[in-house]
Amino acid sequence: MINIAISAIIQVILFSAIPFCWWFFTARKKQSLLSWLGIKKPVIKNKGNYTVWFLLTIFLLFAPSNLIVFFYIDSSLLASNRFAGLGFAAIIPVLLYAIIQTGLSEELFFRGFLLKRFAHTFGFQIGNILQSLLFGSIHGLMLFSAIPFGVVVLVVIVTGLAGYLMGWMNEKKSNGSIITSWCIHSFCNLIVSFFAMFNVF
């Protein structure tokens, strides 16, 4: 558990280093770091509409990615495999992994930093497409040498769609708060990790 905690903290620091430097030299006199990254309470105008989109986004992220894993990818290649068969003994490490190590660090960098900087320069649509393409491509590259190229393309498309939807939810449904995508991202990672913990697949 200590190793997971240390790893989570290190990953958050690494994913925050470039955003912090960028903010420090360009925006620290205008805005606090947390606000600049979108770490603020979501402002939700229509809670019913927000809830529907929140749940739909989770489904659209979770179902296709797990179908790809089920049919095309050896689950031993996934980061969540480290929890395979551990059951409830892995609950704290899984929470650290899903919520802090992956959920927080990736949302800080991709939706908190890249999307906001790209959107400022190119507008929301292009900015969101750019950050989602990078998000998908990095996930594809991590598996590039272990799976067929066609499956890599599927991974890039599915994770890119995930990145786009989470960016859209943040900026269009949450007033720029990355808390929404952090919750969605963490929840999906928790489900995958729980499946590993109890050998569901």
Residues for the chain: how many in total? 201
The rounded distance, in Å, linking the Cα atoms of 1 and 16 is: 23
Proportion of the chain above pLDDT 70, given as a percent: 100
Task: Work out the average pLDDT over 192-197.
Answer: 93
- Whole-number pLDDT of residue 69: 87
Residue 201 has pLDDT above 70, yes or no: no
Chain segment 73-112, per-residue pLDDT in tens: 888 888 889 999 999 999 999 999 999 999 999 999 999 9
List alpha helices for the chain, DSSP H: 2-26, 33-37, 47-72, 91-95, 105-106, 115-122, 124-143, 149-168, 179-197
Domain count, the chain: 1
- Residues spanned by the domain of 67: 2-197
